[in-house]
Amino acid sequence: MRALRFFTALALQLTACSSQYKYGPEQSWDLDSISELKSKEFWFHDAQRTLYNKLSTPPNQYRAKNIIFFLGDGMSVPTVTAGRIFDGQLRGVVGERNRLEFEKFNYVGLSKTYCVNKQVADSACTASAYLSGIKANYLTIGVTADVELNDCKGSRLPQNRLSSIAAWALKGGKSAGLVTTTRVTHASPAGVYAHTSNRDFESDYDVTKLGQNPGNCPDIAQQLIDGEVGKRLRVVMGGGTIKFLPNTTTDVFGNKGQRLDNRNLIEEWQQTKPGNARVVFSRTDLLNNDPQNTDFLLGLFNASHLAYHMDDSIDTPTLPEMTAAAINVLSRDPNGYFLFVEGGRIDHAHHETKAKKALDETVQFSDAVRKARKLTNPWDTLIVVSADHGHTVTISGYPDVNNSIVGLNSELSNVDQLPYTAISYANGPAYERFYKSTDGVVERVDLRNLDFSKPDAIYPHGVPMTEETHGGGDVAVYAHGPWSHLFTGVYEQSTLPHLMGFASCLGPGITYCDLQPKARYSP
């Protein structure tokens, strides 16, 4: 209370002082013209406003009733920077001055993403880290580093199985759910509920195809239906119908199922749920669903991953719409909830070096965070935003301010006098598109002859690969709400669920309730 009184008094003093500043806290951060950037007064008042915002924000030390963890798959720091500029330029403002929704959070840290056995991580081992608090081996999910790739026996041993923060929430009497733009059996969402020695064991067909026995290696889709955590999730939304249907059945999208065991896991999911369990396959059905009369919600909106936002898709909900639907169902629980939301196709677009799509998916991800903020109370809901790993994308050269982030650089190379893009990758596919050989000499092609205006435009890179790889750099962590000030600094990715657990009195580690037995939610 003493700290709260201090910050209240400080805020009153700062409000009185701020009237002298042209750019006070109520002003927009956007700029319509770069001419203002030349003003020294602009930069002075801009810095003072930032100081004001930081000084007038007291740390929130209430117990977190709800936790929403947003995961931008492959959302490296350069991706965030480029996404910010891309979004601003689409809105007609100076892109560099723009802020994505989560960049408005007061507390930011850096997370180290490596696996136990890989310097550069994949989405499987990282899911174990940021959801279960234990680092693991490359390509494995929800199991300790004692489990190697394809070690089915080891993955089934209780001592090797990890417990996710979703499991902690369920044990603590809360609800839990997940939303993703990928298949719901893909690596990141699988970390919420599954334990597997290979991330590609999404169906029993996949297990068999990879030379293993489904009887010894429970597939990920099966674990979503039968597993202790999976079967208790109140909300599951994403894609991947074919992983749940037998190969004798066709889904609503006209695609044949994959399963060899003849189980229809979608029907089983609905039949085994108490109360009103709803299954939806389209945006129309989702938006027409009444969350107040929905106890469980399963939304599968494509046979595989959801379409990119930039692609023409039939009746597919957006990530913000799925996020809102999930919150509306989960918030019925008076004890609170844990929700995992993944913008998974940022990663896929980067792998294809389709920078424009990657940035558009990042903007959609930001919009989902904005939607969550509007639907929740910052005093009782902790929102954490991060990435699992980075990519090799960079913004390079010395382009002019507000130069199109998805176009050509405003200067030429000082070696071959040819243009280059503002965004490029260290490696990637279609090498022959950007380089040509003349009399044994390899040269760059003139990018002015290529069309970068289309969503599917492939961007230049260096090392030729079948697909672009992940990057090994640290990723940012943004936090807002109860105990969000704990998320500053540089730390292992596996620290994240421990911080979230502390704030909400969940999990096997030390929690706020251990220090304050009467810890209460915000009134």
Q: What string of H, E and C letters represents the secondary structure of 61-111?
A: CCCCCEEEEEEECCCCHHHHHHHHHHHHHHCCCCHHHCCCHHHHCCEEEEE
Give yes or no for a contact between 290 and 325, defined as CB atoms under 8 angstroms apart.
no
Q: Determine whether the annotation assigns residue 73 to a binding site.
A: yes
Distances (CA, A) of 286 to 24, 329, 341, 489: 41, 12, 17, 39
Q: Determine whether the annotation assigns residue 188 to a binding site.
A: yes
Q: Determine whether the annotation assigns residue 485 to a binding site.
A: no
Residue 148, token pair as written in the block: 């190697």
Q: Determine whether the annotation assigns residue 347 to a binding site.
A: yes
Containing 470, the helix (H) or strand (E) segment is: strand 470-471
Q: Determine whether the annotation assigns residue 514 to a binding site.
A: no
Q: Kindly name the residue from 76, 111, 123, 331 that is annotated as catalytic.
A: 123
254 Cβ partners below 8 Å, 6+ apart? none
Q: Does the active-site annotation cover 410?
A: no
Q: 66 φ, ψ to 5°? A: -125, 150
**Amino acid present at 488:** T
Q: Determine whether the annotation assigns residue 342 to a binding site.
A: yes
Q: Determine whether the annotation assigns residue 315 to a binding site.
A: no
Give yes or no for a contact between 59 and 480, defined as CB atoms under 8 angstroms apart.
no
Residue 187, token pair as written in the block: 């690596």
- Closest by CA to 468, choosing from 303, 336, 377, 357, is 357
Give yes or no for a contact between 211 and 163, defined as CB atoms under 8 angstroms apart.
no
Residues comprising the binding site?
Answer: 73, 186, 188, 342, 347, 351, 388-389, 470
Which are the catalytic amino acids? 123
Residues comprising the binding site for Mg(2+)?
Answer: 186, 188, 342
